[in-house]
Amino acid sequence: MEDFEDDPRALGARGHRRSVSRGSYQLQAQMNRAVYEDRPPGSVVPTSAAEASRAMAGDTSLSENYAFAGMYHVFDQHVDEAVPRVRFANDDRHRLACCSLDGSISLCQLVPAPPSVLRVLRGHTRGVSDFAWSLSNDILVSTSLDATMRIWASEDGRCIREIPDPDGSELLCCTFQPVNNNLTVVGNAKHNVHVVNISTGKKVKGGSSKLTGRVLALSFDAPGRLLWAGDDRGSVFSFLFDMATGKLTKAKRLVVHEGSPVTSISARSWVSREARDPSLLINACLNKLLLYRVVDNEGTLQLKRSFPIEQSSHPVRSIFCPLMSFRQGACVVTGSEDMCVHFFDVERAAKAAVNKLQGHSAPVLDVSFNCDESLLASSDASGMVIVWRREQK
């Protein structure tokens, strides 16, 4: 780490279809039960003494917990254009949204059956690169290659506000400040990160900073005091975020790999007696998924381990499983250019692969779990969104 001192179209919905998995979609876990004993201090998951935590997860292994019964539903309203982002609403089991390079965003409901597209948000004149749910799920913010961000009301799909990028550049990523959802951070193609007040539509004074390349990925830590930004030159920068003013102060820089775009950053902190080891999950075009340890309050990163996936050119993303801290192990999920969804146990020294879901016919770009991990959504470069159902034990 280095120190710093300071073409577009709006396609109509093609519909969606329900799928029941058969044959090749009968996916079963391949690993035996893992026994985790005597974890060292600083381990990213609770120790074997954390009986209460394990009981919450059913006291089962990761391979058992992440066995899937197959496809629950397939949405194909965005077919022919990539869906770079799919996200379940916060603390919600059945509300799902996805954005497309066709310039639209779909809001979907998975129950009651059959699942349906509630509404399609249109207004961007070029592809939608990213979007985020507000904490209360009443607002969505989206970024687009048309050099604007838009604020949407999820209840009726109304566009509340259109905000042009301060630099007039393509906007490539966005994230809400987790404590103050009135502030959103966006990254653009002119190498800049901007903090924007969505109520006024203005960028925050002192809330801008320049990276070495196009800003492709953003992630806050849970308290909202640290922000990480990744660019297409292979660097990840950490910023100190002033909660009172929204000002950004550049802190550290990590060169993941020179010239390899950083396409996804996901932060996770464990707050428990057994484990206090904040971590960062990073996708870069290296054919690897990278797990870093956050070693100090300035966001310094130390590589913990990597996992083999196929990613050399596509903007693949990954996530931490939301309930991992209560399981016998810690699981992460990632897309891949091999058209599969991969699950890895970050604590298993050997044979870290937990499961692999097959069903996409194009590179898998994004993955999202609902709040109780009963459903997983994945999107791909051909515009398909698959919702997978986890086996009930």
pLDDT value at position 375? 97
Q: Which of 28-32, 141-145, 255-259, 374-378 has the lowest mean pLDDT?
A: 28-32
pLDDT grade for 346, boundaries at 50, 70 and 90: confident
Average pLDDT over residues 203-221: 98
Q: Which of 242, 160, 251 is nearest to 204 (CA)?
A: 242
The full 3-state SS of 9-64, as one line of letters, equals CCCCCCCEECCCCCHHHCCCCCCCCCCCCCCCCCCCCCCCCCHHHHHHCCCCCHHH
pLDDT value at position 154? 97
- Does position 206 have pLDDT exceeding 80, yes or no? yes
Q: Which of 29-38, 116-125, 169-178 has the lowest mean pLDDT?
A: 29-38
351/334: higher pLDDT: 334
Read off the pLDDT of residues 117-143 as tens digits, 9 standing for 90 and up.
Answer: 999 999 999 999 999 999 999 999 999
Q: Determine contact, residues 94/103, Cβ cutoff 8 Å.
A: no
pLDDT value at position 330? 79
pLDDT value at position 27? 32
Read off the pLDDT of residues 217-273 as tens digits, 9 standing for 90 and up.
Answer: 999 999 999 999 999 999 999 999 999 999 999 999 999 999 999 999 999 986 333
Rounded distance, CA 207 to CA 258, Å?
A: 26
93/69: higher pLDDT: 93
Average pLDDT over residues 342-354: 89
Q: pTM for the whole thing? A: 0.85
Structure tokens at 328: 């016998």
The dihedral through the CA atoms of 104, 367, 14, 91 has a sign that is: negative
Please give the order of strands across the beta sheet that includes 288-294: 262-268, 279-284, 288-294, 301-308
185/349: higher pLDDT: 185
pLDDT grade for 19, boundaries at 50, 70 and 90: very low
- DSSP H or E stretch at residue 65: helix 62-65
345/49: higher pLDDT: 345
- Does position 49 have pLDDT exceeding 90, yes or no? no
Residues 6+ apart with CB under 8 A from 323: 56, 57, 372, 373
Compute the CA torsion angle 153, 157, 160, 165 (nearest 10 deg).
Answer: 100
